[in-house]
Amino acid sequence: MKFRVTKTILFEIIMVIGILAILFNMGSIVLGQSNFDGKQNSGLEFNGVYAIPQNPTELQKTLYKALSDELELSPDDRINEADLVVQNFIADYYTWTNKAGSYDVGGLAFVVNHSYLLLMDASRISFYKDLDAFSLKYGKDQLIEVESIETNAMYSANFKFLENEYPAYYIEAEWTYVDREVFPEDKFQRRAAFTVINYDGVLQIAQFYVW
Amino acid sequence: MSNKVKNNRVLDLMIQVIGVLVNLEIIYILFNLTQYSSFSSNIFLIVNGVGLLILVLIDLAIIFAIRMKSKKMDIVILVVFVFFVFFSSVTVYLVNKVNQGVDNIIVDNVQTETVYGVFITYKSTTIKDVKDIDGKTFGVISSEEFLEGNPLAKAELDKNNITVKYKEYENYNDLYLGLLAGEIDAAAMPDDFYDLFIVNEGYEEYLDETSIIYNYQAKVEVTNESDTNFDVTKNPFTVLIMGNDGRLSDTLIVATFNPYSFKATLTSIARDSYVPIDCYTNNASDKITHARVISRQCTINTVQNLLDIKIDFFAEVNFNGVVEIVDAMGGLLIDSPITFVGQSSDSERGHFTVWVPEGKNYLNGEQTLAFARERKLMPGGDFQRQLNQQQVISQLINQMLSTKDINILLSVLDAASSNIKTNMSLEQMMSLFNYSLSSMKNNYVDSEKIIDIQGSRITGYGSTNYNEAMELPLWIYRLYKGAIEDNRNFIINNLKYDYEPEIPADIQFSINWWTQRPVVYLEEYDEEKIHDVIPDIMPNMLSTNDGTWTLERATSWANSRNITLKVNRIEVGSPLYSDSYVHNQIVSQSEKYGRKTSKITNLTIGVIKKVLDCSNYDNRVYDECQDIVEDFVWNTTLDDLGEIRTWASQNNVTLQYTWITSDDSIYDASKAGKVYAQDPMAYTKIPADRVIRLQVFDYPFVELPKVDWTEAQIDEFARKLVNSLEQITYIRKYDGTKNEGTVLKVEPVYHERYAESKKFRTVDKLTLTLSTKVEPTLTIPNFVGTTVVDLQSWLDINGLKPSITKVEEVSEVNDGKIISISPSISNTSTYTKSTFPTSLTITVGKKADSVPATP
Contacts of B122 (CB under 8 A, 6+ apart): B179, B180, B206, B209, B210, B211
Residue B124 and residue B268 in one domain:
no
pLDDT digits (tens, 9 = 90+) for B729-783: 999 888 888 888 999 999 999 999 899 999 999 989 999 999 998 888 888 999 9
Judge whether residue B8 has pLDDT over 70: no
For B696, phi and psi rounded to 5 degrees?
A: -125, 135
Same domain, B727 and B809: no
CB B272 within 8 A of CB B477: yes
List C-alpha distances in Å: B643 to B629, B632, B639. 13, 10, 7
Residues B101 and B119 occupy one common structural domain: no
Contacts (Cβ under 8 Å, ≥6 apart) of A30: B41, B45
pLDDT of residue B621: 85
Same domain, residue pair B594 and B626: no
**Which residues of B, range 44-103, sit inside 8 Å of A by Cβ?**
44-45, 48-49, 51-52, 55-56, 59-60, 62-63, 66-69
Considering the domain boundaries, does residue B836 fall inside one? yes
The pLDDT score that the predictor gives to residue A41 is 38
Comparing CA positions, the residue from A39, A40, A43, A28 lying closest to residue B36 is A28
C-alpha gyration radius of chain B: 54
User: Does residue B813 carry a pLDDT above 90?
Assistant: no
Please tell me the distance in Å from B408's CA to the nearest CA on chain A.
Answer: 25
Once rounded to an integer, what is the mean pLDDT over residues B295-309? Answer: 93
Does A53 contact chain B (CB < 8 Å)? Answer: yes
- List Cβ neighbours of B573 (8 Å cut-off, separation of 6 or more): none
C-alpha torsion A127→A132→A133→A134, nearest 10: 70
Cβ-defined contact of A29 to B37 (cutoff 8 Å) = yes
Chosen domain end from B162, B192, B223? B223
Are A91 and A65 in contact by the 8 Å Cβ rule? The answer is no
Which pLDDT score is estimated for A47? 67
Tell whether the model's pLDDT for residue B354 goes beyond 90. no
Look at residue B436 in the predicted model and tell me its pLDDT: 78
- CATH number for B564: 3.30.10
Query: B215 lies in a domain?
Result: yes
Q: Which residue has the higher pLDDT, B6 or B540?
A: B540
A29 touches chain B (CB under 8 A): yes
CB B122 within 8 A of CB B210: yes
**Region A45-59 average pLDDT:** 78
Q: For the ranges A84-93, A190-199, B466-475, B801-810, which has the lowest average pLDDT?
A: B466-475
Structural domain contains residue B734 = yes
Q: Could B503 and A188 be called an inter-chain contact, meaning their C-beta atoms sit closer than 8 Å?
A: yes
| Closest chain A residue to the Cα of B24, Cα to Cα | A18
Report the residue from A14, A25, A188 with minimal CB separation from B34.
A25
For A14-24, the pLDDT digits (tens) are 778 778 877 87
Assess if residue B703 is contained within a domain: no
**B68 and B162, same domain (yes or no):** no
Residues within 8 A of A (CB atoms), B 401-430 only: 430
Å between A37 CA and nearest CA of chain B: 8
- On whether both B456 and B479 belong to a single domain, the answer is yes
Query: Around B125, how many Cα atoms within 13 Å sit in the side-chain half-sphere?
Result: 0
- Distance CA(A129)–CA(A106), nearest Å, equals 13
CA dihedral (B181, B185, B187, B193) in degrees, to 10, reads 60
- Looking at residue B77, what is its pLDDT? 77
Residues B265 and B337 in one domain: yes
Look at the alpha carbons of B774, B779, B783, B784 in this order and tell me if their dihedral is positive or negative: positive
Cα R_g (chain A), whole angstroms? 25
For the ranges A13-27, B376-390, B663-677, which has the lowest average pLDDT? A13-27
* Count of A-B CB contacts under 8 Å: 227
* For residue B97, pLDDT beyond 80: no
pLDDT in tens, B443-461: 777 766 788 888 899 999 9
Contacts with A187 from chain B: Cβ below 8 Å: 503
Q: What is the pLDDT of residue B854?
A: 47
Predicted pLDDT at A77: 81
Q: What confidence score (pLDDT) does residue A36 get?
A: 35
User: Closest-CA residue in chain A for B427?
Assistant: A34
Band of pLDDT at residue A37, cut at 50, 70 and 90: very low
Q: Return all residues near A2 (Cβ < 8 A) that are at least 6 apart.
A: B67, B69
Mind listing the pLDDT tens digit for each residue in B241-282? 998 877 778 889 999 999 888 899 999 999 889 999 988 777
Q: Can you tell me the distance from the alpha carbon of B140 to that of B132, in angstroms, rounded to the nearest whole number?
A: 17
**% of chain B at pLDDT higher than 70:** 93
Q: Has residue B311 got a pLDDT over 50?
A: yes
Is B191 in contact with B117 (CB distance < 8 Å)? yes
- The predicted-structure confidence for B320-352, as pLDDT tens digits, reads as follows 788 888 998 889 999 999 999 887 776 555 566
Nearest to B515 among A10, A12, A118 (CB): A118
User: What CA–CA distance (Å, rounded) separates B370 from B334?
Assistant: 12
Beta strands in B511-619 (DSSP E): 564-570, 586-589, 602-608
Q: DSSP E strands: which ranges in A50-190?
A: 51-53, 146-161, 164-177
Length of chain A: 211
**What Cα–Cα distance (Å) separates residue B491 from each residue in B389, B455, B496?**
18, 10, 9
Residues of B in contact with A137 (CB under 8 A): 498, 500-501
Residue B322 forms part of a structural domain: yes
* pLDDT tens track for A82-117: 999 999 999 999 999 999 889 999 999 999 987 888
Provide the domain count of chain B.
7
If contacts are CB pairs under 8 Å, which of residues 133-192 in chain A contact chain B? 133-137, 160-161, 184, 187-189, 192
Q: Looking at residue A35, what is its pLDDT?
A: 39
Choose the most confident range, by mean pLDDT, from B72-86, B284-298, B632-646, B690-704.
B690-704
Q: What pLDDT, in 10s, does the model give residues B58-81?
A: 888 777 777 776 777 777 777 877
Contact A148, A176 (CB under 8 A): yes
Picking from A52-56, A104-108, B542-546, B700-704, which range would have the lowest pLDDT averaged per residue? A52-56
Structural domain of residue B59, as residue ranges? 3-105
In a shared domain, residues B261 and B323 = yes
Q: Is the pLDDT of residue A38 over 60?
A: no
Q: pLDDT-based confidence at B852, cuts 50/70/90? A: low
Cβ neighbours of residue B385 closer than 8 Å, sequence gap 6 or more = B372, B373, B374, B375, B378
- List the helix and strand counts (H, then E) for chain A: 5, 6
Q: What is the pLDDT of residue B163?
A: 92
Q: Please give the Cα distance from B34 to B54 (Å, whole number).
A: 17
- Residue with more model confidence, B130 or A143: A143
Per residue in B162-214, pLDDT (tens digit) is 999 999 988 888 888 889 888 999 999 988 788 777 766 667 778 888 999 99
Mean of the per-residue pLDDT values of chain B:
85
Q: Does B577 touch chain A (CB under 8 A)?
A: no
Domains annotated on chain A, with CATH? 46-209 (3.10.450)
Q: In this structure, are B217 and B258 located in the same domain?
A: no
ipTM for this model: 0.83
What number is the average pLDDT over the span B831-844? 90
Provide the strand spans (E) within B390-505.
Answer: 420-422, 452-457, 460-467, 472-479
Q: Which of B105, B138, B157 is the last residue of a domain?
A: B105
Convert the pLDDT of each residue in A146-199 to its tens digit.
999 999 988 878 898 888 899 999 999 999 999 999 999 999 999 999 999 998
B530 in any annotated domain: no
- Binding-face residues of B in 441-480 toward A, CB within 8 A: 441-445, 449-450, 452
B430 chain-A contacts, CB cut-off 8 A? 34
- Note the pTM of the prediction, 2 decimals: 0.65
Whole-number pLDDT of residue B48: 84
A112 has a chain B CB within 8 A of its CB: yes
CATH number at residue B339: 3.40.630.190
Q: How far apart are CA B355 and CA B344, in angstroms?
A: 9
Which helix (H) or strand (E) element contains residue A93? helix A79-93
Helix (H) or strand (E) holding B810: strand B803-810
CATH number at residue B679: 3.30.10.20
Nearest CA in chain B to A164: B512
CA dihedral A162, A164, A170, A173 (to 10 degrees): -30
Q: How far is A70 from chain B (nearest CA, A)?
A: 22
- Flag whether pLDDT at B693 surpasses 60: yes
Which of these three, B193, B223, B253, is where a domain ends? B223
Residues B768 and B802 in one domain: no
B803-806 long-range contacts, Cβ below 8 Å, gap at least 24?
B803/B838, B803/B839, B803/B840, B804/B839, B804/B840, B804/B841, B804/B842, B805/B839, B805/B840, B805/B841, B805/B842, B806/B842, B806/B844
The full DSSP string for B423-456 is -S-HHHHHHHHHHHHHHHHT-SS-HHHHSEEEEE
Cβ neighbourhood burial of B623 (10 Å; 0-12, 13-18, 19+):
exposed
Asked if residue B398 lies in contact with residue B367, where contact means CB atoms within 8 angstroms, the answer is no
| Whether residues B92 and B52 fall in one domain | yes
Q: What pLDDT was estimated at residue A203?
A: 93
Same domain, B434 and B285: yes
